[in-house]
Structure 1
Amino acid sequence: MTDKEQQRSAVLVTGAATRLGLAFSTAMADRGYDIALHYHHSSDQALQQAELIRHRGVRCETFQFDLSENDPGRLIEQVHHRFPDLQVLINSASTYHSGTIADTATRLLQQQFAVNFFAPYLMSASFSRLVARGNIINILDNKIAFQQYQYGAYLMSKKALAEFTTLAAMEFSPRIRVNGIAPGVVLPGETRTRDYIDWRIQGIPLQRQGQVEDLIQALNYLLDNEFVTGQILFVDGGEGINHQGLNAEDYQFSDESGDKIE
């Protein structure tokens, strides 16, 4: 290992072979971090992306790990063994299934919590034991601002992770700062149609779809501002605050004659 490599800090990004995890990995490489690239099934993509990241002048190693079946703390131990200067953990891996509370089977509830909550919880605990100083950033979902029971198990796991973010920030201070990012309509799933995205945009105060760069700017802010911990940045164009509720000023009804009464 060269002197330059010894001076570089490292980051573990979970779910880093595709989508947002890959974007965060690339952004951290551009900041000069060595990359521990975690993946589950996306083996070919992980190897290809790792090679591209190395072209940015940093070290990148891949780590295959099933967060739902194994002890996630072991992944931190494996990464720390190969990257002793591990300083950042980005919990980006996520699994998503729709289903109301009434339709949620035990297996689905366990699977959603295993990846979306238990894994970040246990990895953060291991990270806090092994890393002297650093940052943990949890990737959430702006749906935590709503009560969308149609995504019962998924949404509860993300709400739990949001609460954990503030709890861990208290416990791990001052050595480790813990924050979160709650993306809105930035990278919709491949099954989402253009009509659906346009419909979602109608509920966004800024009236546009977000860009990956918006999330990278949030990531950079949380890493650079050393006086911020326990915070969740909603990067969603204001969609998360667009829930005005019912109020008397908007209430109209008709009397028996059919005339409107305000």
Structure 2
Amino acid sequence: MNEVQKVAIITGASQGIGADLVTAYRKLGYAVVANSRSIGASDDPDVLTVAGDLADPGVGTRVVEAALARFGRIDTVINNAGIFIAKPFTEYTDEDFDAVTGVNVRGFFEVTRGAIAAMLDGGRGGHVVNISTSLVDHANSQVPAALASLTKGGLNAVTKELAIEYASRGIRANTVALGIIRTPMHPESTHEALAAMHPLGRLGDVEDVVNAVVYLETAPFVTGEILHVDGGQSAGH
């Protein structure tokens, strides 16, 4: 491995946005540590896969340790893994709470804590990217999602905190807040109705998200930013 090759950790990397982020970061020349609950081995020697549910204590730490053992450094962490459960607030169960906070908060905490520690040890700076939702800024009565607001709103807030706490050490932190993205989790029969929920009148594509993350990666003067990739949802409707 080239000694100057940078290393990115990407969670939720087995499909959809995460899988395309792996491809994008490889094109940028990064080695990638890819995590999801179930992910197979990669044929690419510069892609290390680490299976595990980030809601389980210790899994996030294991992902960071695997990155350091294989590649010796961490330059970027993309907290893409997330769980979204939409239902009326009073119908959420304790199991729903544990599932959503486990991945969206605990997973973020363990991976990012270890990654920033590694960045500080390396003295080369680094970058944290969180994936959030515009529902935090633009609540929608048709999409009751209090647990998303609770957890992803926390990511928006901690993004700014980390950006300021570590700015002098060369570590940046940014968030990409999404509208509804065209992925397999949305059946094609729902696309027309979902598209109408965006002022631009269409669903987002995975490419829209990947382009935003790559922009932030290559924008060294941008930190503490909540970048909305949401077809205008956060501006109004």
Length-normalised TM-score, structure 2 = 0.88
Indicate the residue corresponding to 2:57 in structure 1.
Answer: 70
Alpha-carbon deviation of 1:209?
2.4
Indicate the residue corresponding to 2:158 in structure 1.
Answer: 164
AA matched with 2:112: S
Indicate the residue corresponding to 2:127 in structure 1.
Answer: 135
Alpha-carbon deviation of 1:127?
1.4
Check if 1:104 corresponds to 2:101: no
Alpha carbons 2:195, 2:203 under 8 Å: kept = yes
Alpha carbons 2:136, 2:152 under 8 Å: kept = yes
Q: Distance in 2 between matches of 1:83 and 1:205?
A: 43
Q: Distance in 2 between matches of 1:130 and 1:110?
A: 28
Q: Distance in 2 between matches of 1:128 and 1:18?
A: 25
Indicate the residue corresponding to 1:176 in structure 2.
Answer: 171
1:112-151 correspondence to structure 2 within 5 Å:
112-131=100-119, 132=123, 133-148=125-140, 150-151=144-145
AA matched with 1:177: R
Q: Which secondary structure state, in structure 2, belongs to the residue aligned with residue 177 of structure 1? A: strand
Check if 1:185 corresponds to 2:180: yes
Alpha-carbon deviation of 1:211?
2.2
Q: 2:208 aligns with which of 200, 207, 214?
A: 214
Return 5+ residue gaps in structure 2 as ranges: none
1:1-262 correspondence to structure 2 within 5 Å:
2=1, 5-41=2-38, 43=39, 46-47=40-41, 50-51=42-43, 54=44, 59-71=46-58, 72-131=60-119, 132=123, 133-148=125-140, 150-174=144-168, 175-194=170-189, 196-243=190-237
Alpha-carbon deviation of 1:161?
1.2
Q: Which secondary structure state, in structure 2, belongs to the residue aligned with residue 7 of structure 1? A: coil
Q: Distance in 1 between matches of 2:213 and 2:79?
A: 12
AA matched with 1:232: I
Residue deviations 1:9-64 (CA, integer Å, cap 9, x gap)? 111101111111101111000111111111212x3xx33xx22xx2xxx6111111
Which range is displaced more, 63-72 or 149-158?
A: 149-158
Cα gap change, 1:69/1:141 in structure 2, threshold over 3 Å: closer, same or farther? same
Q: Distance in 2 between matches of 1:210 and 1:192?
A: 14
Cα gap change, 1:188/1:240 in structure 2, threshold over 3 Å: closer, same or farther? farther
Highest RCO, 1 vs 2 (Cα 8 Å, sep ≥ 6): 2
Alpha carbons 1:179, 1:231 under 8 Å: kept = yes
Q: Which secondary structure state, in structure 1, belongs to the residue aligned with residue 75 of structure 2? A: strand
Q: Distance in 1 between matches of 2:192 and 2:203?
A: 9
Q: Distance in 2 between matches of 1:192 and 1:143?
A: 20
Alpha-carbon deviation of 1:146?
2.5
**Identity fraction in percent:** 24
Alpha carbons 1:11, 1:90 under 8 Å: kept = yes
Residue deviations 1:178-221 (CA, integer Å, cap 9, x gap)? 00111222224434343x32123223222222222222221121
Alpha-carbon deviation of 1:121?
2.2
When the two structures are aligned, how many residues end up with a matched partner?
A: 229
Q: Distance in 2 between matches of 1:154 and 1:203?
A: 17
AA matched with 1:134: G
Q: Distance in 2 between matches of 1:29 and 1:35?
A: 7
Q: Distance in 2 between matches of 1:17 and 1:75?
A: 14
Which range is displaced more, 108-117 or 67-76?
A: 67-76
Which range is displaced more, 96-105 or 172-181?
A: 96-105
